[in-house]
Amino acid sequence: MAPHAETTVIKNFEDLNNFCKQIVNKLKGQRRVLLLLSGDLGVGKTKTVEVLLGELGVTQVSSPTYAIHHNYEVKGMNIDHFDLYRIESESDLESTGFWDVFMQPEAWVIVEWADRLQQTKFSPQWVRVEINIELTEQGRIFKTQFC
């Protein structure tokens, strides 16, 4: 996948569904996908992940804010969902087993509050998609960077 950026205005739930469907379709066939979501508290990161997971076939989604990590398996695909809101240091992150999930030969890793990570540590063997969400008068602005 060639690196590129896109900006999308999300005004309602239908727009969010369409956005998530497009993301999933663009990433079909990729063996290792890393989705990094960032944005202020309450901007819609968890709802976006819920819709993305629904597009992937996950029927029951819960926020990992307190557990920090949830794992889903659907259609033989492993999906790891992290919420780093409560992570305060690199040692906190290490204790969650976060870096271990990147040893998998095939998986999707979805991270909320990704701005708390040092993104230089990610393997180039993973397709990385960074989604920054901003709340504006026009709606939610999704700035998506495919790396």
CATH number at residue 59: 3.40.50.300
| φ/ψ (deg, to 5) at 98 | -55, -50
Residue ranges making up the domain that contains 97: 4-146
Residue 51 exposed, middle or buried by CB count within 10 Å (0-12, 13-18, 19+): buried
The answer to whether 141 and 5 have CB atoms below 8 angstroms apart is: no
Q: How many helices (H) and strands (E) does the chain have?
A: 3, 7
- How many domains does the chain divide into? 1
Tens place of pLDDT per residue across the chain (147 aa): 678 899 999 999 999 999 999 999 999 899 999 999 999 999 999 999 999 999 999 988 777 666 788 999 988 889 999 999 988 888 888 888 898 999 999 999 999 999 988 766 788 889 999 999 999 999 999 999 998
What global pTM score does this model have?
Answer: 0.92
